[in-house]
């Protein structure tokens, strides 16, 4: 995948989460550990359409999430992989 200026974006590794968040115009995640930040489901609903969110919930079944103060936190890595898959056709499966 490339930016509007044609610069190639590397979509692997936790150090690149910020780059992907910026690329997709997502809000900065404020939950979870600093190295693997994430979003609550309430936050995800704010930037995904209802059909995207329902598909996301199905796709997330069996994935690891964090728990912070009693709330499920979905890692930004998973959110951005899913968005890349549904909006840009990027393969988001590793098996």
Calculate Rg over the CA atoms of the chain: 13
Instruction: Decide: 3 and 9 in contact? Cβ < 8 Å.
Output: yes
For the stretch 28-78, pLDDT in tens is 999 987 778 899 999 999 999 999 999 999 999 999 899 999 999 999 989
88 band by pLDDT with thresholds 50, 70 and 90? confident
What does the DSSP 8-state code read for residue 9?
Answer: -
d(CA 83, CA 63): 16
pTM: 0.78
Residues whose CB is less than 8 angstroms from the CB of residue 40 and which lie 6 or more positions away in sequence, other chains included: 31, 71, 72, 73, 74
Overall average pLDDT of the 14-26 stretch: 81
What are the domain boundaries of the chain?
27-88
């Amino acid at each position: 995948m490339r930016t509007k200026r044609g610069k190639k974006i590397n979509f692997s590794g936790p150090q690149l989460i910020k780059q992907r968040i910026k690329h997709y115009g997502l809000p900065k995640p404020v939950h979870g550990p600093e190295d693997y930040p994430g979003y609550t489901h309430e936050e995800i609903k704010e930037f995904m359409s209802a059909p995207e969110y329902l598909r996301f919930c199905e796709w997330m079944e069996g994935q690891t999430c964090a728990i912070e103060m009693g709330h499920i936190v979905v890692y930004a890595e998973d959110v951005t992989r899913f968005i890349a898959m549904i909006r840009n056709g990027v393969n988001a499966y590793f098996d």
